[in-house]
Chains A and B, each alone.
Chain A
Amino acid sequence: MKNETTEMDIKNDTVPATSAKAVIEISNLVKSFGKSEILTDLSLSLYDNENLVVLGKSGTGKSVLIKCIVGLLPSDSGIISVFGKNVLDLNSKELNDLRQKIGFLFQSGALYDSMTVKQNLEFPLRRIKKDLNEAEIAEKVNEVLENVGLADALNKMPSELSGGMRKRISLARTIIVDPLIMLYDEPTTGLDPITSDEISSLIIDVQKKYKTSSIIITHDINCAIKTANRVIMLKGGKVYQEGSVESFQKSTDEEITAFFKLN
């Protein structure tokens, strides 16, 4: 019994070791679809240069949460403060400016099917970094492709890529504009364990190299263990538990043990 971590231990473990400032602060977020309330009074913070893993069963509102952060879904009430600006109060131009600081890796990769890998990578770059010339764009494209280990995929179409390659290219497209915050929506879903591990390593590399703060939505416990500085578990549309990976692993809470053991 002595080794078992209690709920109180987990709660005490939530404050990051460094006194880092919060880049995202969410308070009392509520989001419903029709009569079904997905997020109910959710509050959390993401600190600077931190990887925050969000766990939870399907339908607990994990993806909805990050879509609300980036303004893809309008929330019903609450505050989503990103770099001190409430997303809900921004007009479309201000929201676009804010989005330039946020990278979003979609579950499906969301590569543009009609464009080559090169065009996919150039697309956000030409729109966000308008002052770059052709040589600088080419250099940036090659740099991110090398970072994700796919330098030879430049002229391929997305349909020619495997699931893991699509995820890597999608990650390259996200980091090409040097975002300050990364939002990963189930980055390892549908991938084999080896490729999943490679993607998890890439997430850590991105954090170190680009000094990003990240929210990682995942079901993959191995990915969570490898990437997380802090873990949050959602249940019933709000934060159920919060702590380090170790504290979650040692937890005796049935919900948490079931999640970790079944994975």
Chain B
Amino acid sequence: MENKDLGSTAIQKPPMEKTQPKKLQIALKEKTAEVNNFLTSIADLILFVVRVVRETFSRGFEFNEFLHQCFQIGYKSLPLISITGAIMGLVLTIQSRPILVDFGAVSMLPGMVTISLIREMGPVITALICAGKIGSGMGAELGSMKVTEQIDAMEVSSTNPMRFLVVTRILAATLMIPLLILYADFMGILGCWLGANIKGEVPFVLFIGQAFGHVHFSDLFPAVIKSFFFGGVIGLVGCYKGYNAGRGTESVGIAANSAVVSASFWVIIIDMIAVQITDMLL
């Protein structure tokens, strides 16, 4: 009888009115910590941007390293951008053709695909690919340099790691990604021509005439401008995540992963803003 009483005492729950405020307090603390972390990371990012801008315009620009990064980002991405660009144009053509045939507007196909590529598909898809390839590369490389004390070693060698590693990468990405986007557009148009020739024969000169007959300066200009922002944000986010990686090897993976996710997110956000501005102005 005694044991039964003890058992019932053991599983007796504390009164609800006492546990509820405690749970609320814990939840409130957690939320406050989350908000604090978020605000701290925003402040860190702003300070990082300010430092990048200051170092960019200070004396002693690392020109050789900048050229090296242009080569790494630009030239070494060409095979990937060539294939994805061409496939983008080919797929767009194959998908759009049946609908245009139904409307009897198949002659509009090259122009429609070209405008789609130049205005939206080329910049956004190429930027997302670059966020994956270049952003993650920067995050992982700088992250591992941080973990293995290479950044500290650079600093004690009287070299400003911010200027040598970060500024050069961000500027190279800002310059090279727009060029890669233009190249992807070109490959996409070639892919479109291939697609147009799968069911029928379209001479190249006629195709180019039809493709660029509908393209105006107002299609190209906003796309090029937003490409520079895509490049800048991919470089900035990749470097920020890598440069501020933690101390363990796990941090390298986290830096690379969050560089891709954040850079892709910002590419989409910038694209949305650019589209709104273009729509208002043109």
Q: How large is the interface on A (under 10, 10 to 19, 20 to 34, 35 or more residues)?
A: 20 to 34
Q: Considering the chains assembled together, what is the distance between the CA atoms of A128 and B155 in angstroms?
A: 12
Q: Is the CB of B156 within 8 A of A102?
A: yes
Name A's interface SS: loop
Within the complex, the shortest CB–CB distance from A57 to chain B, in Å, comes to 19
Chain B residues within an 8 Å CB radius of A102: 156
A104 at the interface (CB under 8 A from B): yes
Q: Is B144 an interface residue (CB 8 A)?
A: yes
B149 to chain A, nearest CB (A): 4
Q: B158 touching A106 by the CB < 8 A rule? A: no
Q: For B155, give its contact among A72, A107, A108, A123 (CB under 8 Å).
A: A72
Assess the B149–A107 pair: CB atoms within 8 A: yes
Which of chain A's residues has its CB closest to B151's CB?
A110
Pairwise interchain contact B158-A104, C-beta atoms closer than 8 A: no
Tell me the complex Cα distance, A110–B152, Å.
8
Set of chain B residues within 8 Å of A111, measured between Cβ atoms: 150
Cβ–Cβ contact A123 & B152, under 8 A: no
CA distance A34 to B150 in the complex (A): 25
List chain A residues, Cβ under 8 A from B155. Answer: 72, 99
Q: How far is the CB of A124 from chain B (nearest CB, A)?
A: 4
User: Which residues on the B side are within 8 Å of A67 (C-beta)?
Assistant: 152
For residue A261, CB closer than 8 A to chain B, the reply is no
Chain A 95-133 interface mask (CB, 8 Å, partner B; 1/0): 011011010101110111110000000011001100000
A112 to B154, CA, bound (A): 9
Does the CB pair B159–A110 fall under 8 Å? Answer: no
Query: What is the total number of residues of chain B having a CB less than 8 Å from a CB of chain A?
Result: 14
B152/A99 in contact, CB under 8 A: no
Alpha-carbon gap, A208 to B154, bound state (A)? 26
Proximity string of chain B (144-165) to chain A, C-beta cutoff 8 Å, 1 when within and 0 when not: 1100111011111111000000
Q: A106 vs B148: C-alpha distance in the bound complex, in angstroms?
A: 9
Interface residue from A72, A96, A110, A114 paired with B158 (Cβ < 8 Å)? A96
Beta-carbon contacts of A181-223 to B below 8 Å, as 1s and 0s? 0000000000000000000000000000000000000000000
A-side contacts of B141, CB under 8 Å: 114
A106–B145 CA distance with the chains assembled, in angstroms:
13
Contact (Cβ within 8 A) A112 B150: yes
CA distance A102 to B154 in the complex (A): 13
* Inter-subunit contact B153/A106 (CB<8 Å): yes
Q: In the complex, are the beta carbons of A128 and B150 less than 8 A apart?
A: no
Nearest Cβ distance between residue B67 and chain A, in whole angstroms?
Answer: 15
Contact check: which of A106, A113, A128 meets B152 at CB < 8 Å?
Answer: A106
Structural contact, B157 and A123, CB atoms closer than 8 A:
yes
In the bound complex, residues from chain A placing their C-beta under 8 Å from that of B159 are: 123-124, 127
Q: Assess the A106–B149 pair: CB atoms within 8 A.
A: yes
Residues of A within 8 A of B154 (CB): 112
A67–B151 Cα distance when bound, in Å, is 13
Interface residues in chain B, defined as those with a beta carbon under 8 Å from any beta carbon in chain A: 141, 144-145, 148-150, 152-159
Minimum-distance CB pairs A-B, first 9 = A110-B153, A124-B157, A110-B149, A96-B158, A104-B156, A106-B149, A110-B150, A108-B148, A99-B158
Binding site for B on A (CB under 8 A): 67, 70, 72, 96-97, 99-100, 102, 104, 106-108, 110-114, 123-124, 127-128, 177
Additional pairs, 5, CB under 8 Å, beyond known A107-B149, A108-B148: A104-B152, A106-B152, A110-B150, A112-B150, A123-B159
